[in-house]
């Protein structure tokens, strides 16, 4: 896999009509070597640390093909980094990525830890009113990485899959369990046994059991 772009963000105050909140969502392209620690890019910031950042959510990734799908299917005009991700990947989709996948990129080793859970800020910042609902309907969210080995990466480096532990648990599959729980009770029970799935996401799934 290839990296389309790497992005970092600094905190700013987002203001729109009667809405305002601090956010590091709107990120800028980073073209140089960048160090990945176990908490993510040193140059990046997460404003809402209750729901973003930490070792289980060190880096956020979104796939370029999903941008293309959403823009084409829903007649949108989503710009680069519309989802506030740190890395945009080429030639891959959420359905091709599995929980526990380990990637090598430059000096770093990265493991898929959980899907991203979209919130209302996606719609606030992009101006697409029902974007959160679209992502949940399509089970397209992007995903987070934990850092197994720190090191420098660059957008010119390959994103190489070196280990796949849970081929059944694609990001799209796991999202379907979260957003359509009534049809996925047995699948949720199985997912809760997955060692590589982040504990905060397991807590969400537990709340979906009948």
List 102's β-bridge partners, or say none. 111, 163
- Average the pLDDT over 10-36 and give the result: 84
pLDDT band at 51 (very low <50, low <70, confident <90, very high): low
**Could you list the residue range(s) of the whole structural domain that residue 144 is in?**
3-206
pTM for the full model? 0.93
Tally the C-alpha atoms within 13 A of residue 87's C-alpha that lie toward its C-beta: 27
pLDDT band at 17 (very low <50, low <70, confident <90, very high): confident
Name the residue with higher pLDDT: 159 or 18.
159
Q: What is the CATH number of the domain that holds 47?
A: 2.40.33.20
Angle, CA of 16, 20 and 22, to the nearest 5°: 125
What is the average pLDDT score of the chain? 93
pLDDT band at 113 (very low <50, low <70, confident <90, very high): very high
pLDDT band at 14 (very low <50, low <70, confident <90, very high): confident
Number of separate domains in the chain:
1
- Using the Cα atoms of residue 173, residue 51, residue 66 and residue 121 in order, give the sign of their dihedral: positive
Range of weakest confidence among 24-28, 43-47, 49-53: 49-53
- Rounded to whole angstroms, the Cα distance separating 146 from 132 reads 24
pLDDT of 52 strictly over 70: no
Tens digit of pLDDT for each residue in 124-166? 888 898 999 999 999 999 999 999 999 999 999 999 999 999 9
């Amino acid at each position: 896999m290839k990296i389309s772009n790497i992005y970092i963000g600094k905190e700013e105050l987002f203001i729109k009509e009667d809405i305002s909140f601090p956010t590091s969502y709107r990120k800028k392209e980073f073209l140089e070597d960048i160090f990945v620690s176990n908490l993510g890019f040193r140059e990046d910031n997460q404003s809402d640390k209750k729901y973003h950042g930490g070792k289980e959510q060190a880096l956020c990734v979104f796939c370029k093909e999903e941008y293309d799908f959403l823009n084409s299917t829903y007649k949108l005009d989503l710009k680069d980094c519309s989802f506030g991700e740190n890395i945009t990947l080429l030639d891959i989709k959420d359905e091709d990525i599995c929980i526990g996948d380990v990637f090598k990129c430059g000096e770093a080793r990265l493991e898929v830890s959980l899907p991203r859970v979209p919130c209302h800020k996606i719609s606030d910042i992009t101006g697409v009113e029902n974007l959160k609902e679209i992502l949940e309907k399509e089970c397209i969210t992007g995903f987070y990485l934990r850092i197994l080995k720190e090191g420098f990466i660059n957008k010119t480096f390959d994103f190489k899959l070196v280990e796949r532990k849970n081929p059944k648990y694609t990001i799209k599959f796991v999202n379907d369990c979260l957003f359509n729980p009534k049809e996925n009770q047995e699948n949720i029970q199985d997912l809760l046994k997955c060692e590589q799935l982040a504990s905060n996401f397991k807590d969400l799934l537990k709340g979906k059991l009948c």
